[in-house]
Amino acid sequence: MENPKITTTTGDESYEMFWNCDACGTKKLLGVTHRNCPECGLAQNANARYFPAEGEAVALKNHVYTGADWACDGCGNPNSSKAKFCVSCGCGNEGAKSVTRKTSANTSDAAPGQQSTQTSPQPVMPGAAKASSSGSFIKIGVIAVVLGILAFVFYPRTDTGVIKSHNWEKVIKIEHSVAKTETLECANVKSNMQVRDMKFVNKPQKMQDGESCKDVCANSNVDQGDGSFKVEKKCKQECSPKYVTKNVMIKLCEVEYPEWLMKREEKTAGQSTSDKMDWPNPTLQGKSTSGYGEERIGRRVESYRVQVERKGKIENCEIASLDAWRQFQVGQNVTLKSKVIGGSYCP
């Protein structure tokens, strides 16, 4: 899929930015109309301009944009780009820099001027900090209790016991082949399958049928630097596959193939470390006239255990390797460990 096309358009209408008077506290003064506070006369601070909140935008009728304001080096007062001298203190505009412009976050299809970059502080409810602190202590306490229980349950415990006997076992799983039938698309038939029957059927299939596209747009406010702003709209096209369901003629095959299943076990066992410990030597059955019933060697399993007496109770413990199993002697005192409460104690 190609990268989405992004288009940007800027509206023709301009809107007033707002500013608040730091001297008398008058709020929402207009960036172009009120160069000075109408209540106390304080000159406008260009850095204090902000975008109006939703529903408060004030349109500028017949506004001619001539460029960003310049900030007076003498008094800091913002002046029109056409002014050669500061209207507040009379300083010239030579070397003066343009005022800093505000930026605005995108909003989804917001009306002109409805997005403000300023955020109001959220009120703190009485006792909220205390409640939050209490909640944190409760969480920490619960975590500590859970960790303590886990440590108590799973902390290794030790004891002593006496080796009473050994036993070992070697098992071979014997598998046999049986006939398994299945119906699948003939294109998926494997080499070990015999085709017993074929047929054609209509099968509904989901198929792509072009794309469904829509424009996703977001508005953002663009500070023009003279106390006004315009609304810029960015749109990108987002497309997703469109599907239809159609009946497609496919060829199905009924196949038969061998499946191997566990049939029986053969094993050897003993109770001495000096035993020869050979694997069983099973006699395997061949194929029947049907072509199935053949036997084969499956999984091999060997296990080595010692019986340990601890406090009058016999524990049956599996040992990981033959060499380790042979090291234990009948009558030997050994250190035992248990990983969980109520678990077996084994060396």
Residue 77's nearest CA partner among 102, 51, 103, 99 is 99
* Three-class SS of 314-325: EEEEEECCHHHH
Residue type, 45: N
Highest mean pLDDT of the ranges 46-50, 180-184, 220-224, 288-292: 180-184
- How crowded is the C-beta side of 187, counted as CA atoms within 13 Å? 3
What lies within 8 Å, CB to CB, of 270 at 6+ separation is 167, 168, 277
Q: State the Cα–Cα distance between residues 142 and 148, nearest whole angstrom.
A: 10
Q: How far is CA 116 from the centre of its chain?
A: 31
> Above 60 in pLDDT, residue 300?
yes
pLDDT at 90 over 70: yes
Range 189-203 average pLDDT: 94
Question: β-strands 59-60, 70-71: how paired?
Answer: unpaired
Question: Is the confidence at residue 106, as pLDDT, over 70?
Answer: no
Assess whether pLDDT exceeds 80 at residue 151. Answer: no
Residues paired with residue 134 on neighbouring β-strands, in sequence order: none
Confidence of residue 279 (pLDDT cuts 50, 70, 90): very high
Note the pLDDT of residue 152. Answer: 57
Q: Among 8-12, 62-66, 223-227, 270-274, where is mean pLDDT lowest?
A: 62-66
Q: What are the E-state strand segments in the chain?
A: 6-10, 14-16, 18-19, 29-30, 59-60, 70-71, 78-79, 157-185, 194-223, 228-270, 295-310, 313-319, 333-338
**Do the bridges between strand 6-10 and strand 228-270 make them parallel or antiparallel, or are there none, so unpaired?**
antiparallel
Q: Is the pLDDT of residue 131 over 80?
A: no
pLDDT band at 184 (very low <50, low <70, confident <90, very high): very high
3-state secondary structure of 89: coil
Residues above pLDDT 90, as percent of the chain: 54
Residue with the bigger pLDDT between 275 and 5: it is: 275
Pairwise CA distance, residues 336 & 347, whole Å = 4
- Closest residue by Cα to residue 261 from 298, 236, 312: 298
3-state secondary structure of 136: helix
Tell me the C-alpha distance between 281 and 296, whole Å.
12
DSSP 14: E
pTM above 0.95, yes or no: no
The candidate with the shortest Cα–Cα distance to 46, out of 68, 26, 23, is 68
List the end-to-end C-alpha distance of the chain, in Å, as a whole number.
Answer: 63
Which of 17, 78, 64 is CA-nearest to residue 227?
17
Is the distance from CB of 268 to CB of 281 less than 8 angstroms?
Answer: no
